[in-house]
Amino acid sequence: MKIALIIENSQAAKSSIVHDALKSVAEPLGHQVHHYGMYTAEDKASLTYVMNGLLAGILINSKAADFVVTGCGTGMGSMLACNSMPGVFCGLIADPTDAFLFGQINDGNAIAMPYAKGFGWAAELNLQDCYRKLFDGERGLGYPKERAQIMAKNRGILKELKAASCKDMLTVLKSVDQDLLKAAVAGERFEELFFANAQDTAIADYIRRVRAS
């Protein structure tokens, strides 16, 4: 699984802590971690939580990533922005129980974490435990097990509801503020990571034109 990491500007100073924690858990399990930034608080390309959501939508819908890990101070803004995108189902994850239940019950494709609220001593251990509960083993099995079938049915209904209420991603990209879009895909490693992994040619071609404009 390709896991994309996106860090918002107010929490960019913690980027290496989050990245190291994610890699330490995900890579031994056979997953790839692609860090789309921010990398430091001084990065020229700055990401707001709104851009986090837009970037998550691009990565998930183009299949450049299978899962997105993002966040902000409380995680709320990034979660809301992600869930405004077609095809993105993002949970707010603060502890390992949240991670386990989101993976088993909701089986979404993105999480938003609070990197300021409650982020104290040994915070990296909590991150590692969250990632382990989320990425180690099969997701979507249900909890409790006897409710697995109805949970799977509800996930399907939610996907159908979202598809009916959202535009497709290419239409979103053409409709949003183009300066906002260009800023969201301006990261120093975006070109290297995205175009090598994106599987939707139409989305990739449109992003390429936006970056070149």
**Domain count within the chain:** 1
| Cα distance between residue 120 and residue 42, in whole Å | 22
- Residue 89 belongs to domain with CATH number: 3.40.1400.10
Compute how many other C-beta atoms are within 10 angstroms of the C-beta atom of residue 192: 11
Q: Maximum CA pair distance of the chain?
A: 53
pTM of the model: 0.96
State the pLDDT at residue 174: 98
List Cα–Cα distances, 11 to 49, 68, 78, 192, in angstroms. Answer: 10, 17, 12, 23
pLDDT tens, position by position, 130-186: 999 999 999 999 999 999 999 999 999 999 999 999 999 999 999 999 999 999 999
| Cα distance between residue 60 and residue 74, in whole Å | 23
The rounded mean pLDDT for the chain is 97
**Residue type present at position 42:** E
State the sign of the Cα–Cα–Cα–Cα dihedral 100, 101, 103, 108: negative
The residue behind tokens 């990491």 is 5
Question: Cα 149 vs. chain centroid, distance in angstroms?
Answer: 26
Low-confidence ranges of the chain (pLDDT < 70): none
Compute how many other C-beta atoms are within 10 angstroms of the C-beta atom of residue 152: 15
| Cα distance between residue 9 and residue 4, in whole Å | 16
| Cα distance between residue 212 and residue 209, in whole Å | 5
Residue-number span of the structural domain to which 62 is assigned: 2-212
Q: What is the CA radius of gyration of the chain?
A: 16
| Cα distance between residue 20 and residue 183, in whole Å | 25
